[in-house]
Amino acid sequence: MLKILQEKNIRMIWSKDSNEVWFNANDVGEELGIANIRDTLRNIDNEYKKLFTCSNVGDTYIRNFKEKLPNRGEIFISEEAVYNVSFRSNKAEAKLFTKWVSKVLKQLRINGYYIATEKDEQWLGVRTDGKATRREFTDEIQEFVYYATQQG
């Protein structure tokens, strides 16, 4: 989703350590086809919304746009809020994203991990084979050790 939003020219602000990413709420609403983003934002917890102004962006954040923020500021939403908003959208891209998230969560619940591509599936097969081979060698070594201890 982050990659998609970057490609769509959504205004974004990052913390210098890149752990925190904020997206312009109006841009996200427009991209997801949400007519009144303000109504949607009422249902988003305050911890996932932040008012950015020129003065509080300063040197602590990096942004992907050059224009100044208005004095009154603009609302930006966190990555979690973007996911929440996208689940409420009826736009085709948002529905595809929601289906993908559901698939990932289901695989995590069932398997405890998620395999992103067939290439990863092949890697998992190689890893499983490697574990079986290692187990066989370990069993043989244990048999030799047991035999050696029995022989004195």
Q: Say how many C-beta atoms besides its own lie within 10 A of residue 10's C-beta.
A: 20
Q: Is residue 48 part of a domain?
A: yes
pLDDT, tens only, 59-108: 667 778 878 888 888 999 999 999 899 888 888 888 888 888 888 889 88
Q: Is residue 147 part of a domain?
A: no
Q: Is residue 118 part of a domain?
A: no
Q: Is residue 119 part of a domain?
A: no
Q: Is residue 39 part of a domain?
A: yes
Higher pLDDT, 142 or 64: 142
Q: Is residue 121 part of a domain?
A: no
Q: What percent of the chain has pLDDT over 90?
A: 19
CA distances from 80 to 22, 23, 34, 77, 87 (A): 10, 10, 17, 8, 11
Domain count, the chain: 1
Instruction: Give the structural domain span for 21.
Output: 2-90
> Which element (helix H / strand E) includes 23?
strand 21-24
With 70 as the cut, is the pLDDT of residue 2 above it? Answer: no
Q: Is residue 34 part of a domain?
A: yes
- What pTM did the predictor assign? 0.66
Q: Is residue 120 part of a domain?
A: no
Single out the residue of 54, 56, 52 nearest to residue 26, CA to CA.
Answer: 52
